[in-house]
Structure formats: C-alpha cells, structure tokens
C-alpha cells in the first residue's frame, strides 16, 4: 500500500490514546476509511465555522445543545464542513448520545463515535498528529525513492520513456506526456499494452471540458503544506502548476517551453484508470515533471518521444494487440489519416553501430522532413531497442505500391544523410515493404516486414526489398543458430569455400550469378563481364570441386539454399 498523507478514522480509533476510551461507533460505521487530515478539540456551539474539513472533532458535547433541533443542526453543519468524524466523550454532558444526534449523523453520512471512558484529549491529539506527520514523511520518502530511481535511469543512459514507465509502475496507472496544446507525445503503463492511448483519447475530450482551473497551493490542498510544516509537494517547485483532470487524474506542467519563467514545454498526465491516485502519486508526478524538463531541454526529445509512441502503436498493431476495428481511430489520434483503406507497411532496419542512442531525435526530424516529398500521409515510428523504423503509408491504388516504396526508401536514406548518420564503413540499413491492404492486413504485413528486415541485413544491398520475395531468407534467418544449418552449408559448399580462401579468382560469385540467372549462360557471362569460354571453364571447375551436376534440378535447389543460408550463418 502506498503511503498516505493522513490516517483513516478506523486507524485513529485503533491508536492507544482513543482505544483507552473504549470507542463505540454508533453511526455510519461504513465510512471509517475517511482520511483524517487533522484533529481538533472544542466545545463551542459554532465549532463548525472554525473547521476546514477533514478533521477528527473531539468534544464532551457541551456545545451540542439540549433540543433535538439544535442537535440535528449541529451535526448537519459539521457534515457540510466535511469533517472526517465526530467523537463525543460520555460523562460530562451525556450519559448516552441523544437519539436525534445519532439519527442526524446517520442521515448526513457522518461517522459518530462515543467514548465510554474519559481520555485526555491532548494525548489523542498528540498521538494522531504524530501519525499524520509520520505519514507525510513516509510519503516524501516514497516519492523521493521514485525520483532517485528515475535519476539513476537517466544516468545509465535511459530517457524520458523509461522515466515515464517507472512513474506508471509506481502509480499503477497509465501516464501520458503531451505537448502544451494537448498533442500526445508518449504513453506508458496502465492497462494492457496498447490500451493506454485509447484511454487518453477517450478521457481527454475537448480541452476546455477536460481540465479544470488549477487550484492555488495552500496548507489545505493535497499538494500544499501538511500540518506541522511538512511539505506535501516537490520541494523548490521544480515542476510547473498542478491541474486536476477528469475522474481524479492529475496533470503537471513540465516547464521550459519558452523564455518566460512560467512557460510550459509539455504536460505530464496521470489518469486513475486502474486505481485511485493517492497524494504520493501526485507528489511523484511533480518530481518526475522536474526531471522531464531537464531531459527535454537536453535534446530534441519531443520528436523522439512522439516517434516512440507511434512506434509502440505500430508494434502493438503488428503483434495483434490492437484490433483492426479500433486501429483507424488510434492512428487518427496520432495524426495519421490516410486517403482510403489501402495501406502500405514498411520497415527500415538499422545496424546497431549506425545510430548512437542520442541521435534518434535527429533522425526522426530529418526523415519526416524528407518524407514530405512523398506526397502521401505517412505514420513514422521508431523502436530504438530493436533498431527499427516502422512506417505506414496511405496508398491511393495498389498499382502505386512499387513507386511509393521507391520514394519512401529514397526519403529514408536521404534522412540518414541529412542527419549525418550515413556511414560508408557500416552495414547499410535494409528497407522492406510489406503487402498493401486494409487495416486487417496491416498488422500481419508490418510483422512480416519487420522480420524480413532483420533477415535482409545480410543480403546484397538494394534500395528496398519486397517482403514477399524474402520468405526463404526469413526462414533461414530463423534457423541461423541451428547447427544443422551450418552443417548443411558446409556439406553443400565446403570445397568451393575452401578454394576461394586460397585461390583466385573466387568461384562463389560465379555460382551465385549462374543460379540467379536460372542457368542461362549468356546472361551470366554478360553480368560477370566474361567471355563464354572463361565462364564454361569456371562452371566446370565448380562442378568438379562440388562433385555436382549443375544441370540437375535438385542440385541447383540445394546449392541455391546453401548460398542463401551461408549469409545467415556466417
């Protein structure tokens, strides 16, 4: 259970000071989980005017009144003030509580407790206040622990997504980072994967209706100062204003969006979808917002965060965690509105050495600028851990698939150049286009393209690959760790590979070209820039080394598979 700023009425009655009075709950025992913010003792008839709400009121009943009407009015005023409970000590004024008092408390929903033995009210006050103050300090320690873990994550190279994930785990609810004007940057945690975005879109509504005016912090506010001078919010006001959201959620301004001291760069939103938010969650959100302000100022992470959010959506779609019927609305919330139902999934797979962790934001911005020239709606996401850039492109016609894939692949590579990330000494990125179709086919198409892109990294460079033509390589890539595959390559090609390690010219390229042209010698000779006789001599040498008939269909099939497999097991 998370620390609470106060204690409940039930817990207060269990403390020794009140327990010695033999407390008996005579009305609304179902409301003993109310939080006690403070304890007050008094006998004045107008005591309600002196209270602020949340108090446990101790009295001997002197100010309650003799008439039933006065007694009902006394209880009614306390209930309207919002006190936590009324505790009356028997003996001084009453030997038993009047029926009108009990009935009124029951009607007003106010817990009413009678003490059968006299207790020193100062001892009760001191004991409960100690519990409340200790609760505040425990809450501070809990929020500080979250702050420390978030800081450690950043120091180890993590970014805003990891920080948001820690906060979501702590709050047990989804967490959202949005721009100051309400555009979603990133969602983390909460319900099952993929549901957080739907929750945010469903609850946010029109901005004017979603948020209420921020209440000023005070000694009586949750985020203000607790009794005894214990701060209830982040010290120093690292984050901006705290705003209450619909359904008890909270939004915290992330400062740093402009030159003014009150400028807002983003907004951190925690929604109570799974569990109610406690004050400690609001405090942790404030402290996290302060860290996010630093993170967002260090680099242009707004673009990366938004791209990561889109990448998470596309991955959820590929893995079947997003229903095809709900996908269009989810995509629209991310700014993707295709001209029709025809979509083209693509995936660019980047070698790990090509993109340093801090350069994803630069790549996102450069790629998006280049993709504008494609002239079609594009939803671009990133998955830095896997080194993937998944995309969806809205097509106008199936016949446009190859032309659009050409333009998108060229734009992505131009984005790498513009970002200064293209390197001649590194493996080149592989761009793979999946099967075009509606939303129902888009998820499987994205998954196929992502898997094929991993396999395509070892293939000869091409502007882009068609996922439909990579199924054999994909199968072999999945088997790459199996020892039988390496053994198969060695049996089929071993003598030829041994020859190429020690003799010139190498013969493997000749065999690859020959098989790629389905045994057509004239075309093979033209590609290799050889005369016919030289090609014949080389083919004869290959046939001799492998003890194989290159005109035999089964032999040709085995050699083709072995050449493909060799790329994946090397």
pLDDT of residue 260: 52
Any idea how long the chain is? 570
Confidence of residue 298 (pLDDT cuts 50, 70, 90): low
φ, ψ for residue 176, nearest 5 deg: -130, 140
CA gap 527, 460 in Å, rounded = 15
pLDDT of residue 446: 96
φ, ψ for residue 196, nearest 5 deg: -60, -45
pLDDT of residue 3: 46
pLDDT of residue 281: 85
- Look up residue 396 and give its two tokens: 């106008």
* Percentage of the chain exceeding pLDDT 70: 85
Lowest mean pLDDT among 200-204, 213-217, 564-568: 213-217
Confidence of residue 31 (pLDDT cuts 50, 70, 90): very high
Confidence of residue 211 (pLDDT cuts 50, 70, 90): very low
φ, ψ for residue 341, nearest 5 deg: -90, -5
pLDDT of residue 26: 93
pLDDT of residue 6: 65
Whether the predicted pLDDT of 343 surpasses 90: yes
With beta carbons less than 8 A apart as the criterion, state whether 442 and 327 touch.
yes
Whether the predicted pLDDT of 158 surpasses 70: yes
pLDDT of residue 306: 83
Neighbours of 547 (CB within 10 A): 8
Confidence of residue 570 (pLDDT cuts 50, 70, 90): low
> Could you tell me which residues are beta bridge partners of residue 380?
391
* Percentage of the chain exceeding pLDDT 90: 48
pLDDT of residue 342: 95
- Per-position DSSP letters for 100-156, written without gaps between them: HHHHHHHHHT--EEEESS---HHHHHHHHHHHHHHHHHHHHHHHHHHHHHHHHHHHT
pLDDT of residue 221: 30
With beta carbons less than 8 A apart as the criterion, state whether 175 and 186 touch.
no
CA gap 331, 346 in Å, rounded = 16
Q: Give the pLDDT mean for 6-15.
A: 87
> Is the model more confident about 74 or about 264?
74
CA gap 199, 247 in Å, rounded = 12
Confidence of residue 425 (pLDDT cuts 50, 70, 90): low
Average confidence score pLDDT of the chain = 83
Whether the predicted pLDDT of 110 surpasses 60: yes
pLDDT of residue 458: 87
Whether the predicted pLDDT of 40 surpasses 70: yes
Q: Give the pLDDT mean for 360-365.
A: 81
Neighbours of 261 (CB within 10 A): 7
Confidence of residue 291 (pLDDT cuts 50, 70, 90): confident
CA gap 486, 524 in Å, rounded = 28
Confidence of residue 506 (pLDDT cuts 50, 70, 90): very high
CB neighbour burial string for 157-180, b if at least 16 within 10 angstroms, e if fewer? ebbbbebbbbbbebbbbbbbbbbe
Whether the predicted pLDDT of 297 surpasses 80: no
Confidence of residue 99 (pLDDT cuts 50, 70, 90): very high
Residue 553 burial (CB < 10 Å; 0-12/13-18/19+)? Answer: exposed
Confidence of residue 209 (pLDDT cuts 50, 70, 90): very low
Lowest mean pLDDT among 216-220, 294-298, 308-312, 457-461: 216-220
């Amino acid at each position: 259970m998370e620390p609470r700023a106060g204690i409940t009425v039930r817990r207060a009655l269990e403390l020794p000071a009140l327990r010695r009075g033999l407390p008996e709950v005579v009305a609304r025992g179902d409301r003993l989980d109310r939080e006690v913010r403070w304890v007050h003792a008094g006998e004045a008839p107008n005591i309600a005017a002196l209270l602020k709400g949340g108090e446990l009121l101790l009295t001997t009943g002197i100010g309650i009144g003799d008439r039933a009407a006065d007694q009902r009015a006394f209880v009614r005023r306390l209930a309207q003030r919002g006190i936590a409970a009324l505790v009356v000590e028997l003996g001084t004024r009453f030997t038993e509580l009047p029926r009108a008092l009990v009935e009124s408390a029951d009607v007003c929903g106010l817990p009413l407790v009678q003490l059968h033995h006299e207790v020193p009210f100062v001892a009760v006050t001191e004991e409960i206040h100690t519990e409340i103050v200790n609760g505040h300090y425990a809450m501070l320690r809990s929020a500080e622990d979250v702050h420390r873990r978030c800081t450690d994550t950043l120091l180890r190279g993590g970014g805003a997504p990891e920080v948001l994930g820690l906060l979501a785990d702590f709050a047990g609810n989804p967490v959202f980072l949005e721009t100051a004007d309400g555009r979603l940057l990133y969602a983390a945690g909460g319900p099952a994967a993929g549901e957080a975005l739907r929750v945010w879109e469903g609850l946010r509504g029109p901005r004017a209706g979603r948020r209420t005016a921020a209440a000023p912090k005070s000694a009586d506010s949750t985020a203000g100062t607790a009794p005894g001078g214990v701060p209830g919010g982040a010290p120093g006001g690292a984050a901006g204003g705290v705003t209450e959201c619909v359904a008890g959620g909270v939004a915290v301004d992330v400062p740093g969006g402009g030159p003014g001291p009150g400028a807002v760069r983003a907004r951190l939103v925690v929604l109570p979808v799974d569990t109610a938010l406690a004050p400690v969650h609001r405090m942790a959100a404030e402290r996290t917002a302060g860290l996010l302000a630093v993170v967002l100022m260090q680099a242009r992470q707004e673009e990366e965060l938004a791209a990561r959010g889109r990448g998470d959506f596309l991955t959820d779609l590929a893995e079947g965690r997003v229903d095809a019927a709900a996908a269009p609305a989810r995509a629209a919330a991310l700014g993707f509105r295709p001209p029709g139902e025809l979509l083209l999934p693509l995936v660019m797979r980047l070698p790990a050495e090509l993109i340093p962790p801090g350069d994803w934001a630069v790549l996102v911005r450069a790629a998006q600028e280049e993709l504008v020239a494609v002239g079609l709606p594009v939803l671009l996401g990133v998955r830095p851990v896997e080194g993937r850039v998944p995309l969806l492109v809205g097509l106008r016609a199936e016949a446009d698939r190859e032309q659009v894939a050409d333009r998108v692949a060229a734009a992505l590579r131009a984005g790498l150049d513009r970002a200064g990330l293209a390197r001649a000494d590194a493996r080149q990125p592989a761009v793979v286009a999946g099967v075009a179709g509606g939303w129902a086919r888009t998820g499987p198409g994205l998954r196929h393209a992502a898997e094929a892109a991993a396999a395509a990294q070892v293939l000869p460079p091409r502007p882009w690959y068609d996922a439909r033509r990579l199924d054999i390589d994909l199968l072999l890539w999945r088997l790459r760790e199996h020892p039988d595959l390496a053994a198969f390559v060695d049996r089929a090609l071993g003598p030829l590979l041994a020859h190429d390690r020690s003799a010139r010219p190498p013969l493997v390229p000749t065999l690859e070209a020959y098989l790629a042209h389905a045994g057509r010698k004239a075309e093979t000779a033209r590609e290799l820039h050889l005369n016919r006789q030289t090609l014949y001599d080389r083919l004869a040498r290959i046939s001799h080394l492998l003890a194989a008939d290159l005109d035999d269909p089964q032999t040709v099939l085995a050699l083709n598979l072995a050449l493909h497999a060799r790329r994946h097991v090397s």
